[in-house]
Structure 1
Amino acid sequence: MNRIFCISAGQLIVKKTDNKISRRNRYLNYGLLSLATILKQEGWNPVQIHGHFESPSITLQKCISLGFNYSSLPLLISVPSFYAISWLNEFIELVKESNPKVKIILGGRWVIGNRKDLMKKAVPKADIVVAGIADSIITQIIRSDSSCHPINLSIKSNQINQYPSLDYSLLVERHLYQPSIEVARGCGMGCSFCQEKDEKLLPLKAPQVLIEEIKSTIIRDELTEMTPYFEASMFVPNGKWVDEFQLLRNKYNLEFKWRAEGRVDAINSKHIKKLAQTGLKVLDLGLESASLQQLTRMSKTKNPEKYLFRASDLIKNAYVHNINIKVNILLSAGENEETISETLDWLEKHREYIKGVSVGPVIVFGWSSNTKEYIKELARYGASISHSPALGITHLNLSDEIDYEKSIMISKEISRQFMGAEDYFYLKSFSYFSRDYRYEDFLADISSEKSDYSFNNALTITNRLLNVMLG
């Protein structure tokens, strides 16, 4: 069978602590699935496979079992992270041994950036490197690098929706994934650490299109309930959008829970009640810090007092309407005992309203030529380079007081202060764990290995954070 294999590169390196729980994450590469969907619309026969944390040889065997060695079409590989490059090179080596004539086309917007030359150097056996968003050019790329032609060309490239409705039938083991549905692109809010700080925010996907996509995506079975993640760098629904979405949800008698991520100062608290009625059950909020100084340094806001007031109001209102809040905290350049204590105090005051907390130090991603100015900016606040665990990844000492290792310890301790194992599992299974991974499996994994988890397994509050900071 002549088909296009679309591969989401896996990882040999785990971003956070390497343990069984971390490797249970099943992240969906919805950007690649968008391309696969477009290719199918244009008459090709694509299939998508994720490498995740499996060895490259296992991923290749999956390809071979689906007819890879009989295909003359190019192989598409998406590189979602710099952590994937070592896996990628090993995978390509195996692919070339198995099918020497295959052409390998590499993409990955946030990794490649504007440096196709550096990506080609980092992955020398890739035949073609494509930068940027490829939705509008993917069929051209396939045609220009293949003597084969699609079954039909009834749908032209310029007819493709701004956000293609994802075709989950193209995804191998699709029943194990929690769906991701892209509802908006861009942000443009200027936060210093964000890759989309200068990307213009585009309008939300129309409710009618979104509802149709949900209807075709969600399956009902004996596994964990499907709960879509509405993917947007900045989710900013207005009243009209919320009302129309709710109207259509009721019209088709749809009952589903969903999740989204947003800024604490971008989602209008007055919409929370109606959003809850549409099924919004988990909201990830990028608070980042409750230190006035750190919020200013991050360019998160020009008015940190107002920012924190709005955050408090939003979180409390969400709690009233049974929306679970996960707060994201970013330890950034210049952190010290005082700034972290400010954030801790704020979290403590809002403990009852928060389902979970995710904390991590700022990490610099990108080619050195593209990140040197940002690193200089962070150095103004006391940060310095600690080490680079892999190409394109720079770990930092946040200040003279908090080096990289200490920032990791503090991050985990803050998470443990505000999140137990049960809440951690709930949040992960809502969006990231495989749908056949049960709570009893989770507990068995915890019991089977000794690891430094970012949740409190004992479900008790400890004073270890204070000891870490003072010790």
Structure 2
Amino acid sequence: MHRSNAIAFVSSGMLSPKKRDHVLARRQLYLNYGALSLATMLDAAGFTTMLLHGEHRDPSEVVDELFGTGVLPSQQPLMISIPSFYALPWAQTFCRLVRQRDPEVRIIIGGRWVVGPDVDWLRSKIPHADIFVPGLGEPILNSLLTAKPDLRRLQSPTPDFTLNHRLVKNHLQYQPSIEASRGCGMGCAFCEERDIRLEKLRPPELIARSLSAVQAQYDGSEIHPYLQASMFVPNVQWGSRLVEAVMDQAPRIPWRTESRVDALTPDTVAHLAQAGLEVLDLGLETASPTQILHMRKSADPDRYLSRASELLAACRRHGVRAKVNVLLYAGETTRTFEETRAWLDDHAGMIAGVSVGPVMAYGPPKIASILLDDWAASGAAPVDMNSAFETGITSVHLSRDFDAAAAEAASLYLSRRYMDVNAYFQLKSFSYYPRNYTRADFDQDVKQSNPNSLPFREADRSVQSCVSSAPDSTVTAGSI
């Protein structure tokens, strides 16, 4: 059997979308920039490598492509990244099929949020894999190509190189990524990076160089890079330096990033907007003082919400579209939900869109039980006690007011209240839809989707009409 010398990275896809299964959700593309970082390092070291995303394709189709193009079988290991527990079923099938085609294949599984919590549990779910990497891959990458890999969990600083997007199969369909920093360490109860120290931002001059280098990888065409950072917290001086660093760029490159609502100052936003920031994903999560404390978002809810108001006002003033993330949390009641809704109503003119969903417990029992025990004190309970062991994903009844079904209905209700079809398309097409996906394509897909599953309202419907037609399941107690 002839074997290539290629190192293939496969980002596990999903058998069904993460939230709601409809055509629009299956169109979304998520660049696995962690796997691309490893592929870029090996490419720079002289290896032949590539990154293929499973997306929502059948695993057998991806296996056929890898063997049909001669990438597999290979003398080198097959690197598989599992970016979330939602991708686990896809990875299980993919590994089984690859092993059937090539019994001698050496399969290495990475994805620290899935592998790290309990390696033995994951090994029982994917018996066809050989090696499981529980931490970051960069510091041990070279050893993974040897017979005795180093599997220590070592910290790795934010890469100082530009990701090589040309290594991605069909890279022109994906919006690019630029890593700005790693870690967070803010201690939010639900966050996987709550205890991982926030690293210093890469120098703005390096960010500007990466912006230009990435655009060259796309042959100078329009791109919308995502500056990846769990918490993007530049100060005014950093923002000012970025403005200077990108002044010579032509054309101006619009970009997107994410942060907390209490992490950026209005003056910093002014500089970032001048430097190309067009969309800002903001982790508000809740506007209920009670839930802010339960989430451990802040010890001072009033100050937290005041800073959120100032930041949203600054975004509107400087032309930055703010997309607000809302999390229905353990212990959610009609009163806490109403507090969030009222706050969002007061700021609706400053919000470009929202992303709303109920909290989930991610991880095998070793990890999920810690969260579930904590949430039980607030009146929350798992929908299925066995789901943590079976899938690593546990849905939760948030409280007596919000069982899992009511929480899902309330999530859709809030999404539609603050986001119409135009806003949804603008936000998704900026970062997540294929770069050649047009509004006409989108409109056609909307027609083919079940309207009850879509998180936006029609453009010609007012917020009031959306409220009047809210499903009964959202009216769990009183005023919703």
TM over 0.5: yes
Structure 1 pair 41/221, CA: closer, same or farther in 2 (3 Å)? Answer: closer
Distance apart, 1:56 and its partner CA: 0.3
CA contact (8 A) 1:386 1:397 kept: yes
Q: Which residue of 101, 104, 109 maps to 1:106? A: 109
Superimposed CA distance per residue, residues 439-464 of structure 1 (whole angstroms, 9 cap, x where no aligned partner): 11111011123241011135422224
Q: Secondary structure of the residue that 2:9 maps to in structure 1?
A: strand
User: Taking structure 1 as the reference length, what is the TM-score of the superposition?
Assistant: 0.94
Structure 2 residue 93 is the aligned partner of structure 1 residue 96: no
Structure 1 pair 66/75, CA: closer, same or farther in 2 (3 Å)? Answer: same
Structure 1 pair 67/466, CA: closer, same or farther in 2 (3 Å)? Answer: closer
Question: d(CA) in 2 for partners of 1:440 and 1:159?
Answer: 43
Question: d(CA) in 2 for partners of 1:70 and 1:34?
Answer: 23
Superposition map of 1:319-468 within 5 A? 319-387=316-384, 388=387, 391-451=391-451, 452-460=453-461, 461=463, 462-463=466-467, 464-465=469-470, 467-468=472-473
The residue aligned with 1:141 is 144
Distance apart, 1:9 and its partner CA: 0.6
Superimposed CA distance per residue, residues 272-308 of structure 1 (whole angstroms, 9 cap, x where no aligned partner): 1111100100001100011110111100000001110
Structure 2 residue 82 is the aligned partner of structure 1 residue 85: no
Question: d(CA) in 1 for partners of 2:251 and 2:88?
Answer: 41
Superimposed CA distance per residue, residues 223-276 of structure 1 (whole angstroms, 9 cap, x where no aligned partner): 993100111000001122212211110134451100010001111122111111
Q: Secondary structure of the residue that 2:134 maps to in structure 1?
A: coil
Q: Secondary structure of the residue that 2:66 maps to in structure 1?
A: helix
Question: d(CA) in 1 for partners of 2:206 and 2:190?
Answer: 32
Q: 1:101 corresponds to which letter in structure 2?
A: E
Q: 1:432 corresponds to which letter in structure 2?
A: Y
Structure 2 residue 292 is the aligned partner of structure 1 residue 295: yes
CA contact (8 A) 1:224 1:435 kept: no
Q: Secondary structure of the residue that 2:247 maps to in structure 1?
A: helix
Superposition map of 1:28-427 within 5 A? 28-144=31-147, 162-218=159-215, 225-387=222-384, 388=387, 391-427=391-427
Question: d(CA) in 2 for partners of 1:211 and 1:140?
Answer: 32
Structure 1 pair 159/117, CA: closer, same or farther in 2 (3 Å)? Answer: closer
Question: d(CA) in 1 for partners of 2:437 and 2:242?
Answer: 31
Question: d(CA) in 1 for partners of 2:381 and 2:241?
Answer: 49
Q: Secondary structure of the residue that 1:260 maps to in structure 2?
A: strand
Structure 1 pair 314/159, CA: closer, same or farther in 2 (3 Å)? Answer: closer
Q: 1:383 corresponds to which letter in structure 2?
A: A
Distance apart, 1:466 and its partner CA: 7.5
Q: 1:284 corresponds to which letter in structure 2?
A: D
CA contact (8 A) 2:257 2:281 kept: yes
CA contact (8 A) 2:24 2:449 kept: no
Q: Secondary structure of the residue that 2:428 maps to in structure 1?
A: helix
Q: Unpaired runs of 5+ in structure 1?
A: 147-157
Structure 2 residue 475 is the aligned partner of structure 1 residue 470: yes
Report the RMSD for the aligned CA atoms in angstroms: 2.2
CA contact (8 A) 1:332 1:362 kept: yes
Superimposed CA distance per residue, residues 392-449 of structure 1 (whole angstroms, 9 cap, x where no aligned partner): 1000000011100110000011000000011101101111111111111111011123
Q: Secondary structure of the residue that 2:109 maps to in structure 1?
A: strand
Deviates more, 1:355-364 or 1:372-381: 372-381
CA contact (8 A) 2:409 2:474 kept: no
Structure 1 pair 161/293, CA: closer, same or farther in 2 (3 Å)? Answer: closer
Identity among equivalent positions (%) equals 38
Q: Secondary structure of the residue that 1:251 maps to in structure 2?
A: coil
Q: 2:426 corresponds to which letter in structure 1?
A: Y
Q: Unpaired runs of 5+ in structure 2?
A: 150-154
Superimposed CA distance per residue, residues 291-344 of structure 1 (whole angstroms, 9 cap, x where no aligned partner): 110111100000001110110011011101100010100000111111111111
User: Taking structure 2 as the reference length, what is the TM-score of the superposition?
Assistant: 0.92
- Deviation beyond 4 Å, 4+ runs, structure 1: 158-161, 219-224
CA contact (8 A) 1:38 1:160 kept: no
Structure 2 residue 58 is the aligned partner of structure 1 residue 23: no
Structure 1 pair 392/160, CA: closer, same or farther in 2 (3 Å)? Answer: closer
CA contact (8 A) 2:26 2:56 kept: yes
